[in-house]
Amino acid sequence: MDVYKCTLLSNDKITETSCDMRVLAPEMADAKPGQFVHVKCEGFTLRRPISICDVDGEVLRLVVDRRGKGTEWLTEQRVGATLDILGPLGRGFGTHGRVLVVGGGIGCPPLLYAAKASDSADAILGFRNSAAMMLLGDFRDACDTVQLATDDGSAGFRGRVDELLRRRLSEEKYDRVLSCGPTPMLRACKRVCEELGVPLEVSLEERMGCGVGACLVCAVKLRGADGEYVGHVCKDGPVFKAEEVCFDD
């Protein structure tokens, strides 16, 4: 883990608001699925946390959705630009055994690397609508099956990923479910996995400062053997065992 100057190799628009970006980062070769990088955006006091979507040899892949001024700057960078990247950071997913990845929207990218690293994987991916879909080809290559859900039914199943998750877990055996997406989706997945007795790991988001565990701003309420305690997304996560996360507020 360190700060690296990385050359932007490609930057392709994959939805109306998001870009698939590849940077040259030989130092990230040993990054684990679920870890993230903290990217400097010119003119901003804080870096922006972005999950590692894939690592292929010396090439690090990030998928960035434009949400505000920082990600706007990032997605506008041209091929050949130098990005200042701090990473790899945090604790990632466990990938042993047969894995089911469940992604929602911009939560899908980190699950691609997790699916690739696992022994065998299936995917359930949910999006707002067909225009927001991303990385389908990559997931199809990395997984045995890919099931799609959209809120409006414009592609795949019309409805929520946790409904597909419930069906899938009642029919098939998995060693673990890995999930990343909006909090309500993670909460719903946790309910399903608890009922059906399958271990679930979730990747959480919180506003961050340092990204390395020093400033303590990205707090998350956790439940351990000795009761509730406060952990930090950047250092203790972003991936947590679902049973440890207090989703109650």
Partner 1 sequence: MTDMRVSIAGVKFKNPILVASGTFGFGHEYGKFYDLSELGGICVKGTTLHKRDGNPAPRIAETPSGILNSVGLQNPGVDAFCAEEMPFLKRFDTKIVANISGNTLEEYSELAEKVAAAGVDMIEVNISCPNVKAGGLAFGTSCTSAAAATEAVKNHAGSVPVMVKLSPNVTDITEIARAVEAAGADALSLINTLLGMRIDLKTRRPILKNNTGGLSGPAVLPVAVRMVWQVANAVKLPLLGMGGVASGADAAELMFAGASAVAVGTALFNDPYAPIRVRDELAEYCENAGVARVSELTGGVKPW
Ligand X SMILES: Cc1cc2nc3c(=O)[nH]c(=O)nc-3n(C[C@H](O)[C@H](O)[C@H](O)COP(=O)(O)OP(=O)(O)OC[C@H]3O[C@@H](n4cnc5c(N)ncnc54)[C@H](O)[C@@H]3O)c2cc1C
Ligand Y SMILES: Cc1cc2nc3c(=O)[nH]c(=O)nc-3n(C[C@H](O)[C@H](O)[C@H](O)COP(=O)(O)O)c2cc1C
Distance CA 78, CA 80 (A): 6
Q: Does 27 bind partner 1 (CB under 8 A)?
A: no
Q: Does 106 bind ligand X (CB under 6 A)?
A: yes
Stretch of residues binding ligand Y (CB under 6 A), selected from 74-82, 151-159, 186-194, 209-217: 209-217
Min separation Cβ 246 and partner 1, Å: 11
Each residue 213-232 as x (binds ligand Y by CB under 6 A) or -, in order, gives --x-x---------------
In the bound state with partner 1, the residue whose beta carbon lies nearer, of 19 and 41, is 41
Distance CA 249, CA 229 (A): 15
In this chain, which of 79, 81, 215, 246 binds partner 1, going by CB under 8 A?
Answer: 215
CA angle 150, 152, 157 (to 5 degrees): 45
In this chain, which of 23, 24, 55, 63 binds ligand X, going by CB under 6 A?
Answer: 63
Helix (H, G, I), strand (E, B) or coil at 26: helix
Q: Does 207 bind ligand X (CB under 6 A)?
A: yes
Each residue 153-192 as x (binds ligand X by CB under 6 A) or -, in order, gives ----------------------------------------
Distance CA 164, CA 181 (A): 15
Centre a 10 Å sphere on the Cβ of residue 240 and count the other Cβ atoms it contains. 20
Min separation Cβ 50 and ligand Y, Å: 21
CB distance 83 to 25 below 8 Å? no
Min separation Cβ 222 and partner 1, Å: 11
CA distances from 122 to 34, 127, 227, 237 (A): 17, 17, 34, 23
Min separation Cβ 39 and partner 1, Å: 11
Q: Does 212 bind ligand Y (CB under 6 A)?
A: no
> Which of 89, 132, 96 is CA-nearest to residue 114?
96
DSSP letter, residue 31? P
- Rg of the chain (C-alpha set): 17
Q: Does 1 bind ligand Y (CB under 6 A)?
A: no
- Bridge partners (DSSP) of residue 230 are 221
Residues contributing to the site for partner 1 (CB under 8 A): 1-3, 40, 44-47, 86, 206-221, 229-230, 235, 249
List residues binding ligand X (CB under 6 A).
Answer: 36, 46, 48-51, 63-65, 67-71, 106, 109, 205-208, 233, 238
